[in-house]
Amino acid sequence: MAARTLVNGACILLLASGCAAEGRPAQQELDEEVRTSEAELSFREQCASVDRDALMEGFGTVFGTTRNYDHAGCRHAFVIDFVNNDTDGGTGGQPDFTWNEALPDNQVDCERASILVYSWDSDLNGNPLEAKSASGFWIAGFGGICGGLDVWMTPAREDEVTRYAVSARQGLANGNYSKRKVKASFF
């Protein structure tokens, strides 16, 4: 029994120390990547007050960005206003933001890919309602495929405008990144 407890304790210690499965970055590295990404598209920036890039209205709408998005007050983001004109008393659909290009075809590029999404309600007071990000993860089976580049947000409220600032990024070996296309869908 004591040997079993010792083994279990060692496993917990290894997990708590940030070790990771072979080929997967440690949790500490992922946390640092998220902190860096959040700093680039910061809560303190004025994404709520810049001109929008696109207006989407109603359930079932889909929009795809180009790679040429940026704002002086909302760096490296594409800004979408979604008008929920649902009249049945429900929400206006589940917002989904996905990578809209060929997925990275190797583990290194996959694990350097990410999507960031922030949302604001119709008063656009500068304080985001929600912030989510997703990083790519490599699935080794079937010759390898990149997964995880998909962000689902809280459904938009009826008769309100919700603003989204979204950015898809491919990390580069030198520590910089390049922007990628994003698809926004409301279902």
- pLDDT above 50 for 81: yes
pLDDT tens for 121-180 read 766 565 677 889 999 999 998 889 999 999 998 877 777 788 888 999 999 989 888 899
Mean pLDDT of 101-116: 94
pLDDT of 45: 55
CA distance 74 to 51: 10
- Domains detected in the chain: 23-186 (2.60.120)
pLDDT of 162: 85
CA distance 116 to 128: 13
Mean pLDDT of 26-43: 54
CA distance 98 to 153: 11
Q: 138 pairs with which residues across the strands?
A: 146
- Alpha-carbon distances of 158 from 15, 24, 29, 94, 186, rounded to whole Å: 43, 41, 39, 12, 13
The reply to whether the predicted model has a pTM over 0.85 is no
Higher pLDDT, 168 or 19: 168
DSSP 49: T
What lies within 8 Å, CB to CB, of 143 at 6+ separation is none
pLDDT of 86: 64
CA distance 28 to 34: 10
Answer yes or no: are the C-beta atoms of 117 and 152 closer than 8 Å: no
Listed residue (51, 54, 147) closest to 98, CA to CA: 147
pLDDT bin (cut points 50, 70, 90) of residue 113 is very high
